[in-house]
Structure 1
Amino acid sequence: MSTKELLGQAIGRKIASAPETPHHKRARKSWNSVLGDAAVREKNWRMIAGVLGGALVLSSGASWHYAHLPSPPPLIAERCDATGVTQVIGYAGTANAKVNVQDYRTALSRWIQNVRSLSSDPVVVKDKWAEAYAFMGPQAQAKLNQEANADDSPQKKIGQVTIAVQVGNVVPISPDSYEGRWVQTTYNMQNGAIVDRSDWTATFTVMQREMKSDDPQALINPNGLTIVDFSWHKDLSNRN
């Protein structure tokens, strides 16, 4: 078509297109298929992104919820002496944690060993006293601090002597009080000679307190066995 003929056509008149061949049809179908697949993929990706976003929000909300839930108290279990079967007896520091005389005897015996024995290693002494504090009320803690600061306190002789403690017995004398007896032997660290061997007696006022689940002492003293007050003395009889 010449330029003259092209310019002579009426404005707005559609130029006749070439007839569509089978090749053109296949090309158009292929192109439409490509565009359609791309649109479908984009829709699918948007759907997946929405689902993942929703799951992330739900997961974050669940994590926040569980993070703010109160921690459950430690569960207490004991082994039955007769059968050897471990049984759950309750939660730490709660009323359903069954505490018996043997529990108090065991706790008090270990407490005596922790505070009356003396190692040559200051770190060991510190760890034993830290464990002992977990079984004491404020009044008993204050009294033990006074004992540690006394002029004749064994703790002031670390590096000079060591003290071994052999607990003889711990018995109840009332529903909330116990008596403990032990033999205390002091050794000279230079030559290992026995400096002193004597009998000791202590009395304890005890109670069971509720242990909070976030209290670090609950891991040491889950039953909440507490020494309210104590006193001890060296017996008149001397083993030297």
Structure 2
Amino acid sequence: MNKQSKPADAPSAHEQLNPYISARREWNERYGDYVSQAKNWRIVAVLSGITAVMAVAGVIYIGAQSKFIPYVVAVDQHGSAVAAGIADRASATDPRVIRSLIGRFITDLRGVISDQQAEKAAIDRVYSMLPSGAASTTVISGWFKDQSPFSRSATETISVDVESILPISSKSWQVDFRETARSPNGMLLSKKRYRATLTTQLSPITNEQLIRLNPIGLFVTDISITQIL
């Protein structure tokens, strides 16, 4: 004779007779899921509140930072002040390298020395910083034609002392320099001060020979020189 099996979750006879156990069982079945869900939502709410507080604190911190933008102002020995730009602006090329090349450019351009080979090397360095077809190339070629250093070296030498190199903008520079002229026997002929304004640009170089003369690809695209009286 087969016996009918009783479901595993069916209440026992004792549980059916005990009203407290039956009530607890009914409460668990009816409200247990609600209590569990409410607990989970409370955890989510607490985490969301912490995240919101951290976000607000971050916004307050950022808002409290200084909004002032510092500028560097360079003053030369003659009292001329030139704004050098925003202090926190980074440059791909060290400005000291650019200043050095500009100073060398002016010295090579305006100097006159008796050593012909050294003079030729100086002129080569000048042309290594002149792009083809630029206004500066025309101006400087005319200067060398009218004031050939090879011819002038027979009667005088010119030493150049660069006094200041100051940026006017991101591409323009102001250079103050002094020229001292002496006769072949060393007698002082004259001392004159000049101011040059140069416009520059950085361009990549692939020619190996040119890289040796102009390693960072700094080119002078325009130049004007006036005497300071």
Same fold? TM cut 0.5? yes
User: Which of 142, 146, 159 in structure 2 is aligned with 1:146?
Assistant: 142
CA distance in 1, matches of 2:96, 2:149: 29
Aligned with 1:174: secondary structure?
Answer: coil
Mapped contact 2:114–2:154 kept (Cα < 8 A)? yes
Q: Which residue of 1 aligns with 2:26?
A: none
Mapped contact 1:167–1:181 kept (Cα < 8 A)? yes
Structure 1 outlier segments of 4+, above 2 Å: 152-156
| CA gap 1:122/1:110 in 2 versus in 1, 3 angstroms | same
Unaligned runs of 5+ in 1: 1-96
Q: Which residue of 2 aligns with 1:218?
A: 211
C-alpha deviations, 1:88-127, integer Å up to 9, x for none? xxxxxxxxx9313222211100111111111112221111
C-alpha deviations, 1:59-89, integer Å up to 9, x for none? xxxxxxxxxxxxxxxxxxxxxxxxxxxxxxx
Q: Which residue of 1 aligns with 2:130?
A: 136
**Root mean square deviation of aligned Cα:** 1.7
Give the superposition deviation at 1:154. 4.8
Mapped contact 2:119–2:149 kept (Cα < 8 A)? no
The answer as to 2:203 corresponding to 1:209 is yes
Give the superposition deviation at 1:216. 1.5
Return the letter of the residue paired with 2:144. A
CA distance in 1, matches of 2:139, 2:98: 20
The percent identity for this pair of structures is 23
CA distance in 1, matches of 2:194, 2:174: 11
Mapped contact 2:173–2:199 kept (Cα < 8 A)? yes
Aligned with 1:210: secondary structure?
Answer: coil
The answer as to 2:130 corresponding to 1:173 is no
1:115-134 matches, within 5 Å, as 115-134=109-128
Mapped contact 1:207–1:228 kept (Cα < 8 A)? yes
Q: Which residue of 2 aligns with 1:230?
A: 223
Unaligned runs of 5+ in 2: 1-90
Return the letter of the residue paired with 1:142. T
Aligned residues: 137
Q: Which residue of 2 aligns with 1:193?
A: 187
Mapped contact 2:182–2:189 kept (Cα < 8 A)? yes
Aligned with 2:112: secondary structure?
Answer: coil
Mapped contact 1:101–1:172 kept (Cα < 8 A)? no
User: Which of 132, 144, 154 in structure 2 is aligned with 1:159?
Assistant: 154
Return the letter of the residue paired with 2:205. M
